[in-house]
Structure 1
Amino acid sequence: MGTQRLFIIAPSLARLIRQETGGERVIEGYFPDQPHRRTYVQVEETRGSLFLEDAGETAHEERAELPLAHAQVLLAVSQGQVEHVRTRLSIGSHEIQVFHVVRPGAFDLMAIAKAPEDGREVPPLPWFGPEVNPDPGY
């Protein structure tokens, strides 16, 4: 999805969205950060990926597809893990994702793209809670 804005949403709303739309279970395992770089493995229901995020002046992310068995091995040796259920929605031509974080602690987030290809941002909708992008805990 690229750069995102994250908002807290009510657990009851997130549960309703999951019931109506479904979702996929995702586990991410994080490795120790390096200066200006973050590395993590992601295991979705049917695929695995390795991500390299460069946080330098030209921030970008590289994704490498992995066989599921390889991704699961990397997940087993990762230092920190996050498990969530991701549900994808569309508002017009914009993709919105709802994350029900299961582990390490339960909470719900809504993610919207900051600047999609058409250059228009989706304004926060009335049912979005506070934006949490500035908080590194999210």
Structure 2
Amino acid sequence: MMVDARKVFDRMKAPNAVSWCALLGGYCQTGKHEKVLSLFRQMYMQEQDDDWYSLGTLLRSCDGLSAVNLGKEIHCRSIRMRGCGDVIVESALVDLYTKCGAVDYAYRVFKMSSVHNMITWNAMICGCAQNGHGERAISLFKEMVRGG
């Protein structure tokens, strides 16, 4: 119900990070990736602080648009913010890079990730498998199992 959500958002006197992120997330979930990008620009122009959730949502929209160059810009932005270290952003980066065929970039992000959980492991393993790196995917799976 994004039309209704936008009406509520537009009536807010001072939208905060939570309301911005909710709207970004809604557009992303409904596949309106271009809208996510334009809304993020608007959020940025209003000097709303970036947060990890908004960057993760923005990366998922880059993924939906296969916009790897914009994804790289957002990756740099996350590093400038405080360095990577957010599992949502890190897994979105792994997913973006593998879906755009940049498996080596994805692997670097994966190896430097602060947390290796089921989301990051699955993103990396599936990304390898989908890009013709079946042996690497199996090797990663075995490494994941060994690590518990």
Report the TM-score, using the length of structure 1 for normalisation. Answer: 0.28
- Looking at both structures, which has the greater relative contact order when contacts are Cα pairs under 8 Å and sequence separation is at least 6? 1
Larger Rg: 2
Report the TM-score, using the length of structure 2 for normalisation. Answer: 0.27
